[in-house]
Structure 1
Amino acid sequence: MKIMNLKDVNGLFKVIDACSGTVELISKEGDRLNLKSKLTQYVALVNVFSDDIINELELVAYEAEDIQKLANFMYNQK
């Protein structure tokens, strides 16, 4: 799932924490980072999410209900 114009990184992490399955961030190099890990979230905050608005982000969620949670978050993002 491609996420565009992400403004609320902390909100995204709250949604990811509420997911039941694995949620991965796909890096530009193709690496998969497990965003359910607090350590990985910290590293992502420092390296990937350094701007106020993230123009493009690719996430993979494996559970249908998790995909729906992430889609709802992005749709309702102000």
Structure 2
Amino acid sequence: MKVQNITDIDKFFEVVDSCKGKVELVTGEGDRLNLKSKLSQYVSMANIFSGGEIPELEVVAYEPGDIDKLVKFMMNC
């Protein structure tokens, strides 16, 4: 799923942390970063979030319930 214009970074990570399955960020180069890893959250995402808003990114969740959580979060942004 494509995500964009996330302004509440903390809430985004709360939703990711609440997911039961794997949640990955697909980079422009095709790499997949585990967003449930705190190291990935802080190191890999620091540059993307530095402006306070995320450009469009692709996030992959593998559990249907997790997809629903992420979609609900995006609809409330």
- Superposition map of 1:1-78 within 5 A: 1-77=1-77
Question: Contact (CA 8 Å) 1:5, 1:54: kept in 2 or not?
Answer: yes
Checking the alignment, whether the CA contact within 8 Å between 1:6 and 1:56 is kept in structure 2 is no
Q: CA shift at 1:23, angstroms?
A: 0.2
TM-score by length of 2: 0.93
Q: Which runs of 5+ in 1 are unaligned?
A: none
- Which structure has the highest strand share of the two? 1
Aligned-residue sequence identity (percent) comes to: 57
Separation in structure 1 between the aligned mates of residue 18 and residue 72 of structure 2, nearest angstrom: 13
Aligned residues, how many? 77
Name the Cα RMSD after superposition.
1.0
Unmatched 5+ stretches in structure 2 = none
Using the size of structure 1 for normalisation, the TM-score is: 0.91
